[in-house]
Amino acid sequence: MESEAYHAALAALDWQVALGANEAIGDLPVDRYDLPDKAPAATVKAARPAQAAPAAAPRAAPAGPDPVDAARKAAAAAQDLPALRAAMEAFEHCDLKRGARQLVFSDGQPGARVMIIGEAPGRDEDREGRPFVGRAGQLLDRMLAAIGMARAGEGVPVYITNVLPWRPPQNRDPKPEEIVMMLPFLERHVELAAPEVIVLMGNISCQACLGKRGITRLRGQWAEAFGRPALPMFHPAYLLRTPGAKREAWADLLSLKARLEAGT
């Protein structure tokens, strides 16, 4: 019997050595199956009494005038487009002004039947001080020429501006608070330019003028902005990235032309 136990233990030892367990770590063997009769009491640290969080200091009221209210008053005081431009150039509450080269106010023919509202100036617009003069602007000119319109020269005149008059850094999208701040100027711009219809180029324009986003859903559907018929369309910059959408853009241009021919 003892011989059998001896050989069984030796076989088990050989098996462990074959598996690589050939070195004892501790000085004494440990029987893992021999549980103590009583588990050691857990050491409990005395908890510190809970301390109430310090009361938040009341926020101080923002210093200076409310930017939106200041924009509203400045816009309302402008009696014509040159005065509105001067009011926007003097407006100091929008941080975009500090990073831009110059104000981008408008282009085209004031008093035109069609007013196009883009999003914000890019690098080329910031350099020249006019909206839509880069690659997207060149495409816009070709789109307008296809239905007999132009910002200058021959064709039905159009008038062009943007939601924001200053270039956002790195051409990022305008922030909601920037749109809200400058919206009174845009609304007054529409009142003074007095177009019959408005074309909203891109998501930012729809957000500012309609309170909606989702240009792929909104495009081609006539709506109302500032009390006037408004047609959302794809921005020319989007058409440069997505040439397949030019078919829908052409349909929207034909809708604009038909609306004008029908006398809105």
Domain spans, the chain: 67-261
Spatial separation of the C-alpha atoms in residues 234 and 252, rounded to whole Å: 9
Report the top-level CATH class of 67-261.
alpha beta
Q: Which of 220, 216, 121 is nearest to 163 (CA)?
A: 121
103: DSSP letter: -
Q: Is the distance from CB of 228 to CB of 113 less than 8 angstroms?
A: no
Which segment of 10-14, 100-104, 252-256 scores lowest on mean pLDDT? Answer: 10-14
pLDDT tens column, 234-251: 999 999 999 999 999 999
> How do strand 197-201 and strand 114-118 relate by DSSP bridges?
parallel
Spatial separation of the C-alpha atoms in residues 157 and 144, rounded to whole Å: 10
Residue with tokens 């409310």: 66
Mean pLDDT taken over the chain: 86
User: Of all helices (H) and strands (E), which one includes residue 2?
Assistant: helix 2-18
pLDDT tens column, 23-82: 555 555 555 555 555 554 544 444 444 455 445 545 544 556 799 999 999 999 999 999
Spatial separation of the C-alpha atoms in residues 165 and 188, rounded to whole Å: 14
pLDDT value of residue 240: 97
More confident residue, 50 or 115: 115
153: DSSP letter: S
Other C-beta atoms closer than 10 Å to the C-beta of 157 total 18
Reported in sequence order, the residue ranges of 102-196 that DSSP labels E, i.e. its strands, are 107-108, 114-118, 149-150, 156-162
pLDDT tens column, 183-232: 999 999 999 999 999 999 999 999 999 999 999 999 999 999 999 999 99
Q: Which of 99, 111, 113 is nearest to 149 (CA)?
A: 113
